[in-house]
Amino acid sequence: MTTKRALTAEDLRNLNIIGDPQLSPDGQTLAMIRTRITDEDEYETHLFVQKHTDNEPKQWTFGAGRVFSPRFSPDGQTLAYTRTKAKGEKPQLYLQSLDGGEAKQVTELDGGAGEPFWAPDGRRVLFSTSFEGGQAVPAENEDTVKNNGKDEKSKPFVVERLKYKSDAAGFHDGKTKQLAVLTVSDGQVEFFSDDVYDHTPNGWSPDGEQIVYTANKAPDDTLISDIYTVDTKTNEHTCLTGQEGMFSNGTFSPDGKTIACFGHEKEYLGATQAKVWLIDPLSSKRSVLTASWDVNVGDTMIGDSRAGDTEPGPVFSNNGDAVYVRASTEGNTQLYHVSVKNGDVTQLTHGEQHVYSASIDPDRGEAVVGISTPLNPGELYRLSLTGSGETTPLTAMNAEFLQEIHVSEAEEIRTRSTDGGEVQGWLLKPYQFDDNTSYPGVLEIHGGPHAMYGNTFFHELQLLAAKGFAVFYSNPRGSHGYGQQFVNAVRGDYGGMDYEDLMAFTDAVTARYPWIDSNRLGVTGGSYGGFMTNWILGQTDRFQAGATLRCISNWLSFYGVSDIGYFFTEWEVGADFLQDTDTLWNHSPIKYVNNITAPLLILHGEKDYRCPVEQAEQLFVALKMRGQDPRFVRFPEANHELSRSGPPHLRIARLDELTSWFKKHLLESEPTNTAL
């Protein structure tokens, strides 16, 4: 039996989330951000810097607010970052000398500043800001905003565009993300875009004459993302990808003759695996570098304990003969080397782990990687790009916390589904596990569905184990990590083979671990996992309790109320609301609500625009009308990201609701002794 204490919901406040590592050009200094929850129930993100002579990182920013995106100047003497100093404030751009002294705020824009990129000459900084198209020099009118100290009266919200809301930003205010460049010497800001489309900066060409960015300049009903360049002398914009797919993270090669990016041409719509592409910026000719590598490049790991990490995209080696990328496969996210000549792939990191962030130093053949495992929320490590893949620890910010609390190891399980396909998953044993005792089990189902459970720290899963449950979770059909055919298999088949995979996995778990009481099983999940929880309870009575989180219950209404509903239903369920309502209804869990007998907990954010709260309302009312007694808990000011980045006290309240529900319905009777 362990002598360490059990994990609690409140332990969210004890986690140190270390991310966005950035190596200085000489490789001697490392910048990073640390996020944690304060006693005032706020997220606090600060800049930390660690020099090669330091045993541990030192905090460089203090006080209220949050720091984002630290980036070293080419000479390594200055750090650029963005920062807010008060809740609700827009972030602004700051410059901090590595020699010390106070940081200097260099922007004061109504639309804030984000995503900084230094020009190669170190004289300019590219960043993003927001304003309404046609107002490239936005200015705040204090009298209008503050209304002479009085509250401004509410106004009607006029909707004319299809994209009028998003789960991340709420209702659109007419402002869009634009490209801006700061000249460091005089603080002047020049704008390189001014229209109604969002522009996301990706970086500079080696000569500093071109900016590469991504944007969707198609009509609202067309979901694409293109790579563009803009000439900083003429302000001429060039689309390189032809409005044919989803491309992002454009990066120039050292000689400026090639742009590498992630992308696909929507061959399988939202289930298409991203590949590495190479583009000639002069001719716009493009080719797939990783066509024969059946993986999704990038990080598709699901978790609830990450913050502040950015996707660096493909990073060129110093001579341009290779790119470094992360990719996710079979429950792990690793760093890889891909040859530009022939697409050969070499894995650089190894082990059962989640490489959640990486800063590459191609000149020195080194990298700093952020690594999480089921036993560790995440720390930073130094990695040689030419060695054996061994890593050297750089931070230990969670060491003290981990010495105090018990976390459960993840035991891998592989089984076969009803059609012979393999399903991978894991199990966490209960706190102070005794193999002579019987325990209830909880099946967790991830969202997406095009995402991946795996070898990363997951507070919610660990918490359920700490409360005395066997927690088991898997990657059913539709998950990333197992090739293009597998991730595409769920489209048009929601509730089909994905359901079979989950039931086969449950069978395998209960057969392998006879100490799990098959008469005390619960099921839960969020988003797609909420859909599947609803679906499972309407198809089988093998689960004695369920908890559905930010769920989907009715595809017919989802079409018009979700910020993605108008394309997601056709992409994923395979039917358009305007042409085939029968298919959408047949795949809707609420159709089968009369079959649900297990007690159900419904948790939902009031401002969830991805899976709006009306999905939960319909389910609750339908269950009540047939005499059931569900518990419906609504979280104010919370969107779809409640479990990952929502208000801390609401995240904890959500976890308390979840664990209390399963305790009530699965732990009412004392565990039995199987040895008797």
> Tens digit of pLDDT for each residue in 521-561?
999 999 999 999 999 999 999 999 999 999 999 999 999 99
Token pair listed for 456: 């990363």
Residue 465 amino acid letter? A
Please check whether residue 594 is in contact with residue 622, taking contact to mean a CB–CB distance below 8 angstroms. no
Q: How far is Cα 601 from Cα 192, in angstroms, rounded to an integer?
A: 50
Q: How far is Cα 671 from Cα 662, in angstroms, rounded to an integer?
A: 14
Look at residue 527 and tell me if it is in a domain.
yes
Q: Place 171 in a pLDDT band, splitting at 50, 70 and 90.
A: very high
Kindly report which listed range (221-225, 293-297, 458-462, 601-605) carries the lowest average pLDDT score: 221-225
Cβ contacts of residue 485 below 8 Å, gap of 6+? none
Find the angle CA(431)-CA(435)-CA(437) to the nearest 5 degrees: 80
Residue 86: per-residue pLDDT = 86
Provide the residue range defining the domain that includes 622.
402-553+588-666
What digits encode the pLDDT tens for the residues 85-127?
Answer: 888 899 999 999 998 889 999 999 999 999 999 999 999 999 9
Hunting for tokens 């597998």 — which residue is that? Answer: 486
Predicted model pTM:
0.94
Q: How far is Cα 136 from Cα 146, in angstroms, rounded to an integer?
A: 23
- In degrees rounded to 5, what are phi and psi of residue 206? -60, -30
Q: How far is Cα 203 from Cα 508, in angstroms, rounded to an integer?
A: 48
Smallest Cα–Cα separation from 85: which of 107, 59, 62, 69? 62
Look at residue 86 and tell me if it is in a domain.
no
Residue 676, pLDDT > 60, answer no
- Please tell me which residue in 527, 557, 562, 643 is annotated as part of the active site: 527
Q: How far is Cα 191 from Cα 208, in angstroms, rounded to an integer?
A: 16
Look at residue 530 and tell me if it is in a domain.
yes
Helical pair 497-512 and 528-539, crossing angle rounded to 10 deg? 80
Establish how many alpha carbons lie within 13 A of residue 505's alpha carbon, considering only the half-sphere containing its beta carbon: 29
CATH number of the domain encompassing residue 611: 3.40.50.1820
Residue 658, pLDDT > 60, answer yes
Instruction: Identify whether 205 is a catalytic site residue.
Output: no
Instruction: Identify whether 459 is a catalytic site residue.
Output: no
Look at residue 640 and tell me if it is in a domain.
yes
Look at residue 614 and tell me if it is in a domain.
yes
Residue 144: per-residue pLDDT = 37
Q: For the residues 406-413, what does the mean pLDDT come to?
A: 98
Smallest Cα–Cα separation from 461: which of 667, 302, 666? 302
Q: Is 637 left (phi over 0), alpha (psi -120 to 50) or beta?
A: left
Residue 135, pLDDT > 80, answer no
Residue 653: per-residue pLDDT = 97
Q: For the residues 380-396, what does the mean pLDDT come to?
A: 91
Q: How far is Cα 379 from Cα 365, in angstroms, rounded to an integer?
A: 20
Q: Place 134 in a pLDDT band, splitting at 50, 70 and 90.
A: confident
Look at residue 466 and tell me if it is in a domain.
yes
Look at residue 207 and tell me if it is in a domain.
no
Smallest Cα–Cα separation from 6: which of 547, 659, 658, 668? 659
Q: For the residues 613-631, what does the mean pLDDT come to?
A: 97
Q: Place 53 in a pLDDT band, splitting at 50, 70 and 90.
A: confident
Mean per-residue pLDDT over the chain, rounded: 94
A 10 A CB-CB count for 5 gives 12
Token pair listed for 640: 């779809």
- Please tell me which residue in 46, 354, 459, 640 is annotated as part of the active site: 640
**Helices (H), ranges, 587-639:** 614-625
Look at residue 383 and tell me if it is in a domain.
no
The proportion of the chain whose per-residue pLDDT surpasses 90, expressed as a percent, equals 88
- Per-residue burial over 270-300, b = 16 or more CB atoms within 10 Å of its CB, e = otherwise: bbbbbbbbbbebeeeebeebbeebebbbbbb
Residue 443 amino acid letter? L
A 10 A CB-CB count for 235 gives 13
Residue 513: per-residue pLDDT = 98
Q: Is 436 left (phi over 0), alpha (psi -120 to 50) or beta?
A: alpha
Token pair listed for 650: 């609401």
What's the domain count of the chain? 1
Please check whether residue 33 is in contact with residue 70, taking contact to mean a CB–CB distance below 8 angstroms. yes
Residue 142: per-residue pLDDT = 37
Hunting for tokens 């750090």 — which residue is that? Answer: 79
- Per-residue burial over 106-145, b = 16 or more CB atoms within 10 Å of its CB, e = otherwise: bbebebbbbbbbbbeebebbbbbbbbbeeebeeeeeeeee
Helix (H) or strand (E) holding 662: helix 648-666
